[in-house]
Amino acid sequence: MPDHPAGFAPQSHARLMVGADLCFASTPVAGYSISMLMRQFLLTLGISGLAVATLVAASPLALAAASDWQDLGGGKARLIAAKDPVSGALDGVIEVRLDDGWKTYWRSPGSSGIAPEFDFSASRGSFVDHVNFPVPQHISAGEDRFYGYRGTVLFTFSGMAEMPDNELSLDMLIGVCEEICIPASAHLAIRADALDRSDPLAGRLVTMARSFLPEPADDRLKAVSAHRADDRIVVEIEGEVPEGETVAGIVWQAGGWNSDPVPAERQGDGSYRLSVPLHGNDTGGDMPPAGWHYTLLVESGDGKVARAVEGRIAASQ
């Protein structure tokens, strides 16, 4: 099992209020253009309106390293990246902008959904470590309920450009849904000459996008132990969960996440217990040496995801 699954990168970052209409960072972006989000983000940093207007006008997003837009059938997608000129470190965003009324899935898409897939293997002279998924929404579509996104979704990634003549190349597959769901594919690429001219605005965009990721697990909410019990993984959870809110979780096992977040049961002492079915090759035996990675979602009484955390249950626990 790898040190971390694709789309899993716990890190320290502050929660961010991005304008009155966007709620907290745990709520995904919907219906806002990147230029609007960038403007709101800079204002939250205390930069004056005049300075923001000057920065946005002087450094429009078109100067950043960005691919062309590709049509998805119910939206469009593009690749945005910035390269550190000294170290060659890459940071970027896969921007998916869905049409009104269209939706897409989180990395745990339920039993019949299509989880987004991001393949950078065709890149030349560069590589990408992992792609990070922002906090999802709980979406109702007819009788179906699943975790996913509406509006604009920002998937962040990081990597390294190892050779001067490099190209960042992404093949992606994503399910887009209106009344029915269809698989959509796109090929996105940024050439070396564009990466070498990367504008600092791209880096600021990545900083903003990372504020929409799950928080790293800490004493406010975390898994404290896990063990196998017959055909299940039992996870003990401790933390602060407000009255009326519930906890659900997913666990990485056998090369994938369990298909749907499983509700955790509240215990008499205020802790929670998550019991996740084993699947695939993860049957029997001891806990894997690297432990299990997990994501916990805290939902309010109206079914909205109010908070999300990610962590790893070490094998020694």
Nearest Cα to Cα of residue 130 among 104, 167, 94: 94
pLDDT at 161: 86
The residue ranges of every structural domain in the chain are 34-210, 215-313
Burial class (CB in 10 A: 0-12, 13-18, 19+), 161: buried
pTM: predicted TM-score of the whole model, two decimal places: 0.77
CATH architecture classification, 215-313: Sandwich (2.60)
Per-residue pLDDT of the chain in tens (317 residues, 90 and over written 9): 344 444 444 333 333 322 222 222 333 343 344 455 555 544 444 444 444 444 444 443 333 688 899 999 999 999 999 888 788 888 899 999 999 999 999 987 766 778 899 999 999 988 898 899 999 988 876 677 788 999 999 999 999 988 877 889 999 999 998 888 899 999 999 988 888 776 667 767 778 898 899 999 999 999 999 888 878 888 999 998 988 899 998 887 655 665 678 899 999 899 999 998 876 555 445 566 667 889 999 998 777 898 999 998 875 54
Measured CA distances, 58 to 51, 55, 63, 245, 257 (Å): 10, 5, 10, 45, 43
Distance between CA atoms of residues 310 and 251, nearest Å: 10
Residues 6+ apart with CB under 8 A from 292: 226, 233, 235, 251, 252, 253, 312, 313
Give phi and psi for 91, each to the nearest 5. -135, 140
CA angle 27-19-150, nearest 5°? Answer: 35
CA angle 185-137-275, nearest 5°? Answer: 100
Distance between CA atoms of residues 180 and 139, nearest Å: 14
Enter the tokens of residue 31. 């219906």
- Per-residue 3-state assignment (H helix, E strand, C coil) for the chain: CCCCCCCCCCCCCCCCCCCCCCCCCCCCCCCCCHHHHHHHHHHHCCCCHHHHHHHHHHCCHHHCEECCCEECCCEEEEEEEEECCCCCEEEEEEEEEECCCCEEECCCCCCCCCCCEEECCCCECEEEEEEECCCCEEEEECCEEEEEEECEEEEEEEEEECCCCCEEEEEEEEEEECCCEEEEEEEEEEEHHHHHCCCHHHHHHHHHHHCCCCEECECCEEEEEEEEECCEEEEEEEECCCCCCEEEEEEEECCEECCCCEECEECCCCCEEEEEECCCCCCCCCCCCCCEEEEEEEECCCCCEEEEEEEEECCCC
Residues 127 and 83: beta-carbon distance below 8 Å: no
Enter the tokens of residue 69. 């837009």
Enter the tokens of residue 172. 């992606």
- The label of the residue with tokens 């945005």 reads 80
